[in-house]
A and B are shown apart, each in its own frame.
Chain A
């Protein structure tokens, strides 16, 4: 399936058809979820379902990403619709959801006169861990995020990057099953950003928890996430399963050849591939199942044709995002 087909299948128009991804139990399910502040509609009739390990929430500033997260955590009451997190209803089972979730907010969130270890320990205790276990896990979490040496310093003396890491430590100290990260790389310099992305990747690869990453930075989401939901003005404008797209893109090729086309195009089509010629020397094709790249090289070699360039044509997340915004 090529990306265009996939996009068409998953594209969401104003009618907001339901989106279901993956085959395992959904991590987050939204059914017509709407949130309103006063007379302003912030989220409008969101319907979708995610079951991937890492879910990216993308959108420009003010798109409703943080509001969606806060609604899932029970901070805002939806005016209509339903939502479930790890199978629990956000209206009636808020406490159960909060027990399973770790949350790293976007803005500063700390107590300046507390040391990092006391702060993380208190937060772990509030999540239900006994005092001794909370202390142990607070130390572990701070070492894990790279603040082991600074864990006895007061939080008020921390740099912005360190504060971000403490927020991550408090979010994982109680061992949640779903980690919600709201703009985790905000204000970080490139090495610190790299470190944060690496930590998120490690947690994802440990396969012990699901991650929701909310960001307006496409690179962060592209590096970490399997599924992406793009929001704009409180509506879902696009859903994309990046993993599937990456797999699909492996079958979509662009070739630049030298030595005349001859019956090269016809030979490729005989293998069952769709092929189109652009000018004299450029070809686009979709590899059919069972056809490998070496088959293309073999056909070219038999006809004395040089393949000068071969690209997997792939929509980047930026392409997807820009298309979604245009639509």
Chain B
């Protein structure tokens, strides 16, 4: 089938390993992300706050700087669990905005124009498809959340010494876990919504609606019913409760940590079920 020959011939060359094929979708999704200048600029902006945090950590340990301006290190910045919680919370919001921009564009174009049969008529499963599409979001969100978080932790540990490291090692685990849960929730919810509505803009609007209108609805339930159980449908509250617990800041939580974990697991389950139902070559109308 060479261009100049214009004849058909069977391909008989080497093939790639089956396990690696989901990364093909990651590669193409990455190209789509960086095609938009706005998204690229926002992605770059997401590294500003980690750089500021890095500067803060450096200055806290720079005795020359402190002496020059006669600053008290204990009053400047405390590099502790509250510092890292603030970092995760800030980057978490940025991750949410990035997911709102990019997430709905992952699956909906395939569904909108019926491209799914072309994926699944190949040696490529639905699980690999979801994994491949999610990997793009997971990798980008990781780059702005737990990766810089762990870099900051490592810098702080190298400057503060081994005693700080061993005392605060649990913080590294908390940073990773808190960001990972948030990334998983964002990825699954955005993908499930875009699979459901098949329209990028509508999916983005629905995502905002679920997070913010859901939170408002939960508060309304709490106020009317004089209960705290409305928080169980508030994703922001659920994730906040888990984060506060992970960073050992959860002294006065509205709902229990177990309830929050359960709520997040249910959300993940619903999203997976939705994806499983929608991401298929052909829908069977019974």
Contacts from A to B (Cβ < 8 Å):
37-40, 70, 73, 75-76, 95-96, 98-99, 101, 103, 105, 107-113, 118, 122-123, 125-130, 133, 137, 139-141, 143-144, 148, 167, 170, 172, 174-177, 202-203, 206, 208-209
Contact = CB atoms under 8 A, between A and B. Distances in A.
Contacts of A127: 122-123
Contacts of A128: 15-16, 18, 21, 122-123
A209 B7 CA distance: 12
A137 B286 contact: no
Contacts of A167: 118
Given A98-B122, A122-B24, A206 B113 contact: no
Interface stretch (B142-150, B245-253, B277-285): B277-285
B28 A122 contact: yes
12 contacts: A75-B117, A111-B109, A128-B18, A128-B123, A130-B16, A133-B13, A139-B3, A141-B1, A143-B3, A143-B6, A144-B7, A175-B9
A45 B132 CA distance: 38
Contacts of A144: 1, 6-8
A112 B113 contact: yes
Contacts of A38: 286
Interface of B: 1-3, 6-16, 18, 21, 24, 28, 32, 109-110, 112-115, 117-125, 280-282, 284-286
A26 to B, nearest CB: 19
Contacts, number: 129
Contacts of A75: 117, 120-121, 280-282
A125 B117 contact: no
Main secondary structure of the interface of B (DSSP, over half): loop
A209 B115 contact: no
Given A125-B21, A127-B123, A139-B3, A113 B9 contact: no
B1 A172 contact: yes
A40 B286 CA distance: 8
Given A123-B118, A128-B18, 20 more contacts: A37-B285, A39-B286, A98-B124, A99-B122, A99-B123, A101-B121, A103-B121, A107-B114, A110-B115, A111-B110, A111-B113, A113-B109, A126-B24, A127-B122, A133-B11, A141-B1, A175-B1, A175-B10, A202-B8, A208-B8
A182 to B, nearest CB: 9
B284 A37 contact: yes
Given A128-B21, A172-B8, A206-B8, A111 B115 contact: yes
Nearest to A177: B10
Contacts of A206: 7-9
Contacts of A208: 8-10
Nearest to B23: A125
